[in-house]
A = this chain, B = another copy of it.
Amino acid sequence: MAGINTVFEALSHPVRRKILALLRQGPMSAGALAEHFAISRPTLSVHFNKLKEAELVSVERQGTSLIYHLNMSVLEGALAGILDLTEQSND
């Protein structure tokens, strides 16, 4: 399991948050995602990797394409992490 640190670290870059926002509407290939960015594919690929390490996305091969999927449950974990900071607790 990936650890909250890795997840927040992954969320800290705007390109990576945009990738997640795009994947929210459904799985997409690396190439299809790349069309939404002005940066090189290798650079984007490194961002994919950080999202994978954080388990915010998963990958599935389809022929020559790699299809990325959003992993909602880990994103919800991050949500809970912030929620923890806003809620008063008694311990």
Contact surface of A with B, Cβ cutoff 8 Å: 5, 8-9, 11-12, 14, 17, 20-21, 24-25, 72, 75-76, 78-79, 81-89
Interface of chain A: mostly helix, strand, loop or mixed: helix
Tell me how many chains of this kind the complex includes: 2
Q: Given A72-B86, A85-B75: A9 and B12 within 8 A (CB)?
A: yes
Q: Given A79-B86, A86-B24: A8 and B5 within 8 A (CB)?
A: no
Contact, CB under 8 Å: B86 / A76: yes
For A20, the chain B residues whose CB sits under 8 A away are 85
Q: 29 pairs across A/B with beta carbons < 8 Å?
A: A5-B14, A8-B12, A8-B14, A8-B17, A9-B12, A11-B11, A11-B82, A12-B12, A17-B81, A17-B85, A20-B85, A21-B84, A21-B85, A24-B85, A24-B86, A24-B87, A24-B88, A24-B89, A25-B88, A72-B86, A75-B82, A75-B85, A75-B86, A76-B86, A78-B82, A79-B79, A79-B82, A79-B86, A82-B82
